[in-house]
Amino acid sequence: MSMKEILVHLDDTDRCLTRLDVAISLALRHQAHLTGVYATPPPYYAVHWVDPPPEVVETEIRFKQMAATVGIANDWICTDAPGLVASVSERLIAQAFFADLVIVDQADQRASGSRTTFDLPERLVLGIGRPVLVLPRFGEFKTVGQKIMFAWRGGKASSRGLNDAIHFLEEAREVNLLMVNPGENFETQADKICTYMSHHGVTASVDRLSVEDVQAGDVLLNQACDMGIDLVVLGVVAHRRLGKTGLGPVGKHFLEHMTIPVLMAR
């Protein structure tokens, strides 16, 4: 199974270059087409463009130069425009339906207000039906997907995570299947998952973990750090609270506290 279309969110922040470095590395590894989508929150005040602002032009030039240097086919899309009212998440969702992978940054959960993107990763995971690679807002990531921990809890979300991550698993040097609260049929279930992976040329070590929901996010992150993991694969579920749909507690915890890139699928 191949990954041939990668979409990366670009903006005018300091973290944009780190995001782009990871996107180019993955596109090169998988010989994928790369689409850079520039999207920033609309301003409070009226804007009238004659030409695109300097930060947009600079980002476009950098994106195209970096992609061309390593020979990656690419497209640039700028979704900012005068009078724009659509949010960043709405504009990215419209483009992300046609990608095999979407790359964004972890949001600042302390942010609030209509101009912020504090819930961008969550909105994408819930809204596009595509795997979303979320990068921590701190740190540099020279490798992503060489040493993978796949957190399996069972059910639709885990199954979707396995399917959406298979191109990463096929390319990884090491894969650890971590089964969370697997129950009495642990061995049978582990055998089935490992057999499926083996059909894709993937060999995985298997561990089991029994935790309560309130502890699961911390335990999984600590385990990943202890093992030197550079990518966690997590199938996430949606919960409805107070009339609003959001990620379940483990997914929420990862988005708030992650220190390692996380591939989320739903």
> Which pair of tokens denotes residue 44?
């409070």
Q: Are strands 262-265 and 231-235 parallel, antiparallel or unpaired?
A: parallel
Task: Give 105's strand partners.
Answer: 135
> Which pair of tokens denotes residue 205?
């070590």
> Which pair of tokens denotes residue 54?
């300097």
Could you name the CATH architecture of 5-135? 3-Layer(aba) Sandwich (3.40)
pLDDT of residue 118: 74
pLDDT of residue 213: 67
Across 29-152, the runs of DSSP E, i.e. the strands, are: 33-38, 74-78, 101-105, 132-135, 147-152
pLDDT of residue 31: 94
Alpha helices, DSSP H only, in 113-212?
120-127, 155-164, 166-171, 186-198
Q: Where does the chain hold its CATH 3.40.50.620 domain(s)?
A: 5-135, 147-265
Q: pTM of the prediction?
A: 0.94
List per-residue pLDDT tens for the chain, 266 residues long.
579 999 999 999 999 999 999 999 999 999 999 999 999 988 766 677 778 889 999 999 999 999 999 999 999 999 998 877 788 999 999 999 999 999 999 987 555 444 456 789 999 999 999 999 999 999 999 999 999 999 998 889 999 999 999 999 999 999 999 988 888 888 899 999 999 999 999 999 999 988 876 678 888 999 999 999 999 999 998 877 766 778 988 999 999 999 999 999 98
Task: Give 234's strand partners.
Answer: 151, 264
Residues whose CB falls within 8 Å of the CB of residue 201, separated by 6 or more in sequence, listed in order: 170
> Are the beta carbons of 234 and 148 closer than 8 angstroms?
no
pLDDT of residue 126: 94
| Domain 147-265: assigned CATH number | 3.40.50.620
d(CA 224, CA 127): 27
> Are the beta carbons of 44 and 115 closer than 8 angstroms?
yes
pLDDT of residue 246: 82
